[in-house]
A and B are shown apart, each in its own frame.
Chain A
Amino acid sequence: MTPVNVLEIDATLADFLGGPVAIVVATRDADKRPHVVRGYAASLSEGGTRVSVHVPSRQCRHVLDAIKETGVIAAVFSRVSDYKTYQIKGIDAEIGPTVRGSTPRLAAYRDGFLDELARIGIPRESTRGLAFEEFIPLSFTSTAVFAQTPGPNAGRKLETQA
């Protein structure tokens, strides 16, 4: 079996990932078909090696089905004001119990993200599609991080492996 590197994410990147960034979570099923859903309110645990993110219960069934088959995840985190973007690859994804969107962590993320959208000209009244009552937490072990800000360095792998 090929050994898998576990990546420890440093504090600066952890702050970025945990901030009011746009998040998109992708996985794939047993037939190698991709599946994708928007993510909310990411955080890190276990010394920066485990990433947690929430997905809306209403929208994620196809993603959860695929995760149960493969356990692999790729997620992008992008600051909408300047396009700064990172992608994290991961394995051993786990699905947690449903949480309410009104919990402080999710409510704070939503407020911060809607403020960011307002700064780029998307008012709160135009964000109905981002409001959800229930979320499913996902967590996964990070194995690689890529800088993905648009430009010639997009796709560069960060060399910070633990």
Chain B
Amino acid sequence: MSRLLAAARASLDGALPATISTVDAAGVPNVSYISRVMYVDEEHVALSNQFFRKTRANLESNPHAMVMVVDPRDCRQFLLTLELEGSHTEGPVFDQLKAEVDSIATMTGMGDVFRLVSADVFRVRACVALPVEEEASADEP
């Protein structure tokens, strides 16, 4: 898994936005775009928590999430099965993620919109490269 997560780093660094899916206490799914998925180490990623309050509320009652990231080189997609471990509002992970989010905000002209509330650190339970048409098959989650 960690080797595949390393392979997915190009997608984490890509320009195409990732999406996060969560589930609330009543069982209603939610899906939102997120501006940044940051590689922390072989078993963790940090996600930018900006203004998607529903995602945040869902994670407080149900820490499970699935994130889809897109490789900008060929639009291939990876699915990360995640579990929230904690939220950081200061420290090196927060500082690095804030710098990256600020950079994206500047590039996209959305500096007034993007403001990092916290860096949410997730354990990566699984990382799967979704199969593309030319391949015989690959494992889905």
- CB pair A122 B29 closer than 8 Å: no
Which has the most chain A C-beta neighbours within 10 Å: B32, B52, B71, B72?
B32
A34-B66, A129-B75 known; A72-B27 Cβ under 8 A: yes
- CB pair A34 B23 closer than 8 Å: yes
B80 to chain A, nearest CB (A): 10
Q: Which residues of B contact A150 (CB under 8 A)?
A: 33, 35, 50-51, 110, 113-114
Q: Does B2 contact A (CB under 8 A)?
A: no
CB within 8 Å of B: which A133-152 residues? 133, 148, 150-152
Q: Does A62 contact B (CB under 8 A)?
A: yes
Contact residue among B28, B51, B130 (Cβ-Cβ distance under 8 Å from A74): B28
Chain B: residues with Cβ within 8 Å of the partner, total of 45
Contact residue among A27, A28, A59, A73 (Cβ-Cβ distance under 8 Å from B140): A59
- Complex CA–CA separation, A33 to B77 (angstroms): 19
| Interface of A toward B, CB cutoff 8 Å | 24-28, 32-38, 58-59, 61-62, 70, 72-76, 78, 83, 85, 87, 89, 117, 121-122, 126-133, 148, 150-152, 154-155
Contact residue among B16, B21, B50 (Cβ-Cβ distance under 8 Å from A35): B21
- CB pair A35 B27 closer than 8 Å: no
- CB pair A28 B29 closer than 8 Å: yes
Q: Does B44 contact A (CB under 8 A)?
A: no
Contact digits for B47-85, partner A, Cβ 8 Å, 1 yes 0 no: 000111110000000101110101111111101010000
Across the interface, name the chain B residue whose C-beta is closest to A88: B31
| Interface of B toward A, CB cutoff 8 Å | 15-16, 19, 21-23, 27-33, 35, 50-54, 62, 64-66, 68, 70-77, 79, 81, 110, 113-114, 130-134, 137, 140-141
A26-B29, A32-B62, A58-B133 known; A128-B74 Cβ under 8 A: yes
Across the interface, name the chain B residue whose C-beta is closest to A31: B64
A76-B33, A132-B133, A150-B113 known; A70-B27 Cβ under 8 A: yes
Q: Which residues of A contact B51 (CB under 8 A)?
A: 150-152, 154-155
